[in-house]
Chain A
Amino acid sequence: MSNRTLGLMMGAVALLIVAVAVVFVLVLAGGDGDDDDSAAPASEASDRDAAADSGTDDAGADATRDTSREDSRDDSRTASGICGENRLITFGDDPATVFDPIQVGDASTAEYTAEIFGGLVTLDLDLNVVPDIAERWEISEGGRVYTFFLRDDVVFHNGRRVTADDVKYSLERAADPANFSPTVLDYLGDIVGVRDKFNGSASEISGVQVVDEYTLRIELEQPISYFLQQLTYTVAYVVDREQIERDPDGWTRNPNGTGPFRVKVFRPLEEIVLIPNDRYHLGPPKLDEVVFSLSGGSLSTRFENDEIHVAVVPALELAGVLSGESPLSEYYLPVPQLAFSYLGFNVNEPPFDDPLVRQAFAHAINREAINEVLYFDAAIVADGILPPTLPGYSEAVTTYPYDPARAAELLAQSRYAAEMPRIILTFSGSGGDPPDTLQAYQQQWREALGVEVEIEAIEWSAYLRELRRGELQMYAAGWIADYPDPENFVGKLFASDSRLNHGGYSNAQVDALLAEAATLQDQEARYRLYHEAEQLIIDDAPVIPTFWFINHYLVRECVQNWVDPGTIVPKYRYVEIDTSGE
C-alpha cells in the first residue's frame, strides 16, 4: 500500500480522534470553547424574521446572546435571541382532532380552536363568562329562555360579517347527525330540539330562533344555570357556512373563524403558527405570531438554550428548580390546575359496597407525607373535590385526615372485618412498576388496615372501556374541568344519571341538591347547594380525593401576561414580548 494513501487515511482518523478529545477537554475544563462563530447556526432560526425589526443588530445580538448563555443568566434579558422579536415560541401537543369546533374532544386541539374561533360568549382570564359575538343577553321565563343581542361589527377572518343566521347554522351543524359531533349532547343537549335534530327526527333545532339579523333566541328544556358556561365550549363556536360548503373536507386546514388568531402554518407533528386577526372585535392580539412547536428535542434544554419562551419543568429537575438551586429557578411559574385526582370505588361491588370500608381506606392514607416525599410539596392535598381556583370553591368542605387508628376501627365495624375479598386497584399505564403514589397507598393500607391491594395497569382506551362498563373495583383517576363551574365536577361525576358516574354512586339527597342547584339563578345560593352536595359525597366516600395538582412552567422574563387559566380560554391575545431588553 502506498504511503500516501495510508498517510491520508491515518490523518483523517487522527484528526477525528483529536477533535473528539479536544471537545472533551474543553468541556471538562469549563466550556471555554464557546467562541464567536459558534452561535451562527443557532441564531438563524430566530433571526429569520427579525430583519424587519428596526434596531435589531444581528451580529450584536449573537454576541450578547452567546455570553448570556455561558456566563450569566441575567444577561438574557437583553433584547436578543428569542426576546428580540414580538413572536411567542411555545410548546404544544399535536392536535388529536381537526380544527373543527364540533369535533374537538381533547384539550390540545381545544386550545388552538379557542384562538381561531369564537362563540356567543367566552371566558376571561379569571374564568368569568364575558361577551364575545353577543354584546349582551337577557334571561327570561325563569332562566329557560336566553335572548342574545349580537355585536354588529363581528367579522370572519375573510371579512364577512357574522349575523344571527351564522350562529344558528353553527349550532345546527353541531347537532347534525351526519357530523358525528361527540360533544354536542354534553354541552348543548339542554337546548330544545337539539336531541331531535341529533336523532334525525327534526331538520332544524326548534329551540334556536333568529329574531332579526343581530338577535338570537335560545330556549332550554329546563332552566340550566351553567348554560352560559357550557356555551363557552368549542362545540358552540361559530363557523363559516360558505367555507364549509365550498370545501367540506379541507376547510379545517385553514379555518375561517371569528377568533383573535388565524392559522398560518399547520404541519402535523411539526408546528402550528398562528397570526393575528387584526379586525378582532375584542381588541386585536399584540403578538406578531404564536409558534407552537410540536417537534424538537427536550423542552427544558431548549428553554435553557434560549430557543423557546415557555416550557414545563421536567420531573427530574423539579426538586432543583423548587429549591432555587437550578439556574432555571428564576423562570419558574407554578399554576394550579383546574382539576383533582382521586381514587374511585365501584360502590356496588364487595368490599366497597360498605361505606365503612371506603371511609377506612380514606383515613388510612397519609397524603401529606406523600406530597412531601414524592411531590416535593409542590402539589396540594385535596381538601375537597372542587379545586381552589375554581369559581365556587369552598374552604368549608373537608376530606378525611390521616388517622390510621380510626381507619382500623372503621374497618373492624364493617361487614368485611372478618374476611376481605381480593382487591384490585387499576390505573391507566403501560406495565412496569406502578406510579410511586399508588405504591405508597398500597403500603399505607397494608400497614394501617392489614389489607393487601393489588395494583394493575391497563392501556388507556381499555381502561376507559372497563370504567364505562363499571368493571373496575377500584381505580386511580383524575378530572379536568371542561367549563369552570362546580356542576362540571359535582354534577357530571356524581349525579345518579350521569354517564360519567362510573362508580355507580347514587344518593337521592345529592341528586335533589344538584337538580335544585342547576336551575337557580342566584350564584351564591347555587354554590352553597353544591358545597352541601360536595360534603355529602365526600362523607359517603364513593371516591377519595387525593391531590390538586400544579403545573410547573418555565417562562422567559420578556414574555408579558402569559397565564394558564387551567381551562379552555383564548389567552394569547393578551401576551406580548418585551423586546426593549429591560
Chain B
Amino acid sequence: MGQGLAGYILRRLLWTVPVIFAISVLVFLLLRLGPLDPIESILGQRYTEEGAERLRAKYGYDRPIHIQYLKYVQNLFQGDLGVSTRHQNFTVAEVVIPKIRVSAGMNVMAMVLIFTLGVPVGVYAAFMRGTFIDPLVIGFWLLIDSIPVLISAVWAPWLFALKLGWVNLSYEGVLHPNIILPVMVMSLPGVAGVARLMRASIIQVETEDYVRTARAKGLRERTVVVSHVVRNALLPMVTVIGLALPGIFAGSLFVELLFGIPGIAREALDAVLAPDFDVVLGLVLFGSILFVLANILIDVAYGFIDPRIRITATRGG
C-alpha cells in the first residue's frame, strides 16, 4: 500500500472540494430563492417594511446574492459558520455542536446495540438453517422491524414508563439512564436487517473453497467458524457500518420528536421550516463532508480486511 493508498486517498479528497462547492452553491440558492423568509418568521405579526429592512441589513440579506455567497465562503474559511436567526445571538456552531453530540451519542449506542444483537442472531440463524429455528428467529426480528417507530414510540413509553415504571421520559442528557428507551426504540427495528445480511453472508462464505480447505486441513470446527467463516462474512458489514456513519450524525427524526430529544434532526427540521439559512447550510455542509469521508473510510477499511481490494484500488485508482 504506502504510496499507492496515500495517493488514492489524496485524489479522493481533492475530488470532494468541487463536490462540496457544488452542494453549497445549490443549497445556498435553494434557500435564498425559496419562498420562506427568515425575516418574516422573526417579526411575525410585528412585521413592518421598515423593521424588515433593518433586520435584512443586520444579517446582510439585502446585498446581491453572489456577494452574500462570497461573504459566507469568506467567513467559512475563517471558521465562522454564521449566526442563527432562530436562536438569536447564538452562532451556528453554538447551536449545532451540542445537538450533534446528542444525536451522535444516541446513534452510536443504537449502532452498538444493533450490531451486538444483529450479528450473533444472523450467525445463529445461518447455522440453524434447515430447522424451524432459523425462520422463527429471523421472523421474530422482522416482526419487531415491521412496527413503525411512530407506533413503538407511543407504545413503549406507556409500557415501560407508566405500567412498569422502569424509566422516566424526561430528557436529562444523553448519558442519563432515561435515554435507554429512545435508543431501544431507535435500534431494535434495525436488528433484522443486520441479522439477515449476516445470515446470507455466512451461508455464502460457508460454500467458499477456503472454508472447505480449512476443514480438510483438520482445523477445529470452532477455529473454522470464528477465523474463517465469521471473519469473512463480516466484510459486507463494514459497508453497512460505513454507510450508517453519516446517519449517526443526521439523527433520527421521529425518535427525537416523540421523545423530545434536542438532537440534530429536530434542529434541522426546525431550521428548514423557520428558515434559518446559516444553520441549514452548516448542517448540509457538515453532512456532505461526513458522507464523502465515510465513503473514503470504507474503501480504506476494505483494504485492511481484504488485500484483494487494496491491490485493485492501488492499480485502478
Contact = CB atoms under 8 A, between A and B. Distances in A.
Q: Which 9 A-B pairs have CB atoms at the shortest separation, nearest pair first?
A: A297-B169, A269-B262, A2-B222, A295-B171, A461-B40, A182-B46, A41-B177, A9-B124, A296-B260
| Interface band, chain B | 35 or more
B35 A298 contact: no
A464 interface: yes
11 contacts: A1-B224, A12-B120, A17-B140, A23-B159, A31-B163, A38-B164, A41-B166, A41-B178, A45-B176, A295-B260, A296-B260
B260 to A, nearest CB: 4
Given A186-B46, A301-B162, A304-B162, A45 B88 contact: no
Contacts, number: 167
Contacts of A106: 44
B55 A180 contact: yes
Most buried by B among A96, A100, A297: A297
A362 B159 CA distance: 48
Interface string B157-174: 111011111111111100
B127 A305 contact: no
A10 B262 CA distance: 38
Interface string A86-97: 000000000011
A45 B177 CA distance: 10
A106 B178 CA distance: 31
B96 to A, nearest CB: 11
Given A5-B222, A297-B258, A41 B167 contact: yes
A301 B89 contact: no
Nearest to B95: A268
A66 B158 CA distance: 16
Interface residues of A, number: 66
Interface of B: 35-37, 40-48, 51, 54-55, 58, 86-90, 95, 98-99, 117, 120-121, 123-124, 127, 137, 140, 154, 157-159, 161-172, 176-178, 220-222, 224-226, 258-262, 266-267
B168 A31 contact: no
Contacts of A270: 171, 262
Given A45-B170, A307-B168, A297 B42 contact: no
A250 B91 CA distance: 11
A278 interface: no
B169 A6 contact: no
A200 to B, nearest CB: 11
Nearest to A186: B46
B83 to A, nearest CB: 10
Contacts of B98: 267
B167 A13 contact: no
Contact of A301 (B58, B137, B157, B266): B157
B159 A27 contact: yes
B39 to A, nearest CB: 9
A465 B35 CA distance: 11
A27 B164 contact: yes
Given A70-B165, A106-B44, 7 more contacts: A5-B222, A183-B46, A293-B170, A297-B260, A298-B157, A460-B41, A500-B45
B164 A33 contact: yes
A177 interface: yes
A579 B177 CA distance: 27
Contacts of A103: 88
B168 A27 contact: no
Contact of B170 (A26, A307, A464): A307
A252 B88 CA distance: 10
